[in-house]
């Protein structure tokens, strides 16, 4: 089984973007917005900052108190939306429960929504328009398949998970690539059989080891989006790698697979936003 490592995909993207940024009139700027001190957010913030630095993208971190009011949050968010020098905004989620997340998501400026969280970008992805920003993790799945040279045309692809962050947008991006897509969720009957029929299987359920030998068809390509912590406290995906290695033709590892590509896709979106904002050399 071939192991589809994210690092190679991330490095290729990073190299191309760094070359482009060198030619820009001023560096692209990403504002990161974190509310509180969630370890997951801090870790992603660090990873994003390192990746942006490699490319020449400036990061402006905004860290807001856990108990910030909706009104104050929106006041700051609006300032970022309006600030001319900022090209993209990355908002860490989930937000604390007392904040109205839906209202906040619908407020983000479409041209700065580099993580595809707002309704306008979501609509573009569903309409098959290519000038929107897809959620970075969903796009990272496509980048990995493209980099591996896997032609999706006419392929049977099964996605496990139907969230707005991954499952649904990735299904739309796969349809755009002419795949025949089935989306599974907790109410799916005979999940194993549906998965086993897939030529490409995307696991995005967030359940450690739920995809094993029973769920993977011979020579399938398996993309594991899940990030879970197993009983030993280690990071693992949704796929039982040991069980599928004699069956699948290729699979992404966790860690080191999809997650490794996500921040590069974010960078690609920030550079694209900077281009839209007129930072390309004439
Ligand atoms: P989510 O909002 O919890 O959605 C999970 C989806 O999986 C739901 O649609 C759920 O079905 C389905 N599901 C859960 N258990 C299932 C089961 N046993 N059988 C069939 N379907 C099942 O999670 P998410 O935000 O989409 O994230 C999914 C995973 O990706 C998580 O592990 C998350 O940590 C990871 N993630 C990875 C990255 C990355 O960069 N690699 C980025 C973000 C998230 P229902 O709709 O029926 O409930």
Task: Note whether residue 255 is domain-resident.
Answer: yes
User: Residue 172 belongs to what domain range?
Assistant: 136-259
Same domain for 150 and 110, yes or no, is no
User: What separation in Å is there between the alpha carbon of 14 and the centre of ligand 1?
Assistant: 27
Q: pLDDT for 111-138, tens place per residue?
A: 999 999 999 999 999 999 999 999 999 9
pLDDT beyond 90 at 201? yes
Strand, helix or coil for residue 56: coil
pTM (2 d.p.) = 0.97
Average pLDDT over residues 145-173: 98
Task: Provide the pLDDT confidence category of residue 282 given band limits of 50, 70 and 90.
Answer: low
pLDDT of residue 231: 87
pLDDT of 60 reads 98
Max CA pair span of the chain = 56
> Which residues partner with 117 through β-bridges?
none
Domain-located, residue 72: yes
- The answer on 210 and 241 residing in a single domain is yes
Q: How confident is the model at residue 281 (pLDDT cuts 50, 70, 90)?
A: confident
Total tally of structural domains belonging to the chain: 2
Determine whether the shortest distance from the Cβ of 259 to ligand 1 is under 6 A: yes
CA distance 245 to 219: 10
The neighbour count for residue 190, using CB atoms within 10 Å, is: 9
Would 15 be classed as within a structural domain?
no
Listing DSSP states for 80-126 in one string gives HHH-TT--EEEE-SSPPTTS-HHHHHTTS-GGG-TT--SHHHHHHHH
* Whether residue 199 sits in one domain with residue 97: no
One domain, residues 145 and 255: yes
CATH of the domain at 96: 3.40.50.10860
CA distance 11 to 140: 13
Residue 203 maps to a domain: yes
Q: Which atom of ligand 1 is nearest to the CA of 164?
A: 26
Angle between helices 136-147 and 258-276 (to 10 degrees): 110
The two beta strands, 235-236 and 228-229, are antiparallel
Asked if 223 and 141 sit in the same domain, the reply is yes
- Within-domain flag for 232: yes
Other C-beta atoms closer than 10 Å to the C-beta of 26 total: 13
Q: Which atom of ligand 1 is nearest to the CA of 210?
A: 18
Structure tokens at 36: 């509180």
Q: Is residue 110 part of a domain?
A: yes
Residue 275, in any domain of the structure: no
Residues 89 and 167 in one domain: no
Query: Chain-wide mean pLDDT for the chain?
Result: 97
């Amino acid at each position: 089984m071939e192991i589809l490592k994210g690092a190679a995909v991330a490095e290729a993207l990073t190299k191309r973007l760094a070359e482009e940024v060198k030619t820009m009139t001023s560096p692209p700027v990403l504002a990161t917005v974190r509310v509180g001190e969630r370890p997951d957010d801090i870790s992603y913030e660090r990873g994003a900052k390192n990746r942006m630095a490699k490319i020449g993208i400036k990061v402006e971190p905004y860290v807001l108190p856990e108990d910030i009011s909706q009104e104050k949050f929106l006041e700051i968010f609006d300032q970022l939306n309006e600030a001319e020098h900022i090209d993209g905004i990355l908002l860490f989620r989930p937000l604390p429960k007392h904040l109205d997340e839906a209202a906040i998501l619908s407020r983000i400026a479409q041209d700065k929504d580099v993580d595809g969280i707002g309704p306008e970008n979501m609509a573009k992805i569903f309409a098959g328009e290519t000038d929107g920003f897809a959620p970075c993790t969903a796009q990272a799945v496509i980048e990995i398949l493209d980099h591996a040279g896997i032609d999706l045309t006419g392929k049977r692809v099964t996605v496990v998970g139907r969230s707005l962050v991954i499952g649904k947008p990735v299904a739309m991006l796969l349809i755009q690539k002419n795949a025949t897509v089935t989306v599974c969720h907790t109410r799916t009957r005979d999940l194993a059989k549906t998965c086993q029929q897939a030529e490409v299987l995307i696991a995005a359920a967030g359940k450690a080891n739920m995809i094993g030998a029973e769920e993977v068809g011979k020579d399938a390509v398996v993309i594991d989006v899940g990030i879970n912590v197993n009983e030993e406290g280690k990071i693992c995906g949704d796929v039982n790698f040991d069980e599928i290695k004699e069956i699948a033709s290729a699979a992404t590892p966790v860690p080191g697979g999809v997650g490794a590509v996500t921040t590069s896709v974010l960078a690609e979106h920030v550079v694209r936003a900077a281009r839209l904002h007129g930072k390309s050399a004439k």
